[in-house]
Homo-oligomer: A and B are copies of this chain.
Amino acid sequence: MIEVLRLTHRIRRDPRLSSHVALTARAFLADKIYYSGDRDSKFESSINNTVNRFGGPFEILYVEDALKFVKKRKENGFLIIHTTMYGLKLDGVINKIKASKNILIIIGSERVEPGFYELSDYNVSVTNQPHSEVAALAVFLHMLKNGEEFDHKFKDSKLTINPDKAGKVVVEKR
């Protein structure tokens, strides 16, 4: 079970970035995304809409108290990862992380409370440079899953895209 937690979503500031985080979580084979901050039904329904069209399973769920949620996941045996530009280099710890079956990946936004650093089994950097939580999540999951995302078939999809040299080949199930 691979779960992602997006911290402190802001409706005014983050709608597109949070969508990119959630869609990246799905495309790179996480099972669920949780988010805290502003509850946002538009965000949830746009992700659910993608799952309906392109397949699943994938869930989006709101979390009231993110710190309490992480504590509970840890009690339940999840390995807690926090992606941050300040953390240990991913290429040095990825093999240890792969040994765990249940992983929760915390994705920050703006300032992250110290509690999340303390609760995490690994604070992990995808380069120690400023860039993007979306990029960090994608490369983290790509390495965690050994590139499985390229061949994965989602279940119950209505639309499938067939790779093409120069066009758009969309196959619709009827």
Residues of A that sit less than 8 Å from B by CB: 13, 16-17, 20-21, 23-24, 26-28, 50, 54, 85-91, 117-118, 120, 123, 125, 127-132, 134-139, 142, 147, 149-150, 152, 154, 160-170
| A54 shortest CB reach to chain B, Å | 6
Residues in B neighbouring A161, C-beta threshold 8 A: 85-86, 125, 128-129
Cα A129 to Cα B131 in complex, Å, equals 23
B131 and A20 form a contact (CB under 8 A): yes
A129 and B154 form a contact (CB under 8 A): yes
Residues in B neighbouring A86, C-beta threshold 8 A: 161, 163-164, 167-170
Query: What are 18 A-B pairs at a CB distance below 8 A?
Result: A16-B16, A17-B17, A21-B132, A54-B129, A54-B130, A86-B167, A88-B163, A91-B150, A118-B166, A123-B164, A123-B166, A125-B161, A128-B160, A128-B161, A128-B162, A132-B138, A134-B138, A138-B138
Residues in B neighbouring A88, C-beta threshold 8 A: 163-165
B28 and A127 form a contact (CB under 8 A): yes
With A130-B54, A142-B139 known to touch, is A165 a contact of B28 (CB < 8 Å)? no
- Chain B residue at smallest Cβ distance from A87: B163
B24 and A131 form a contact (CB under 8 A): yes
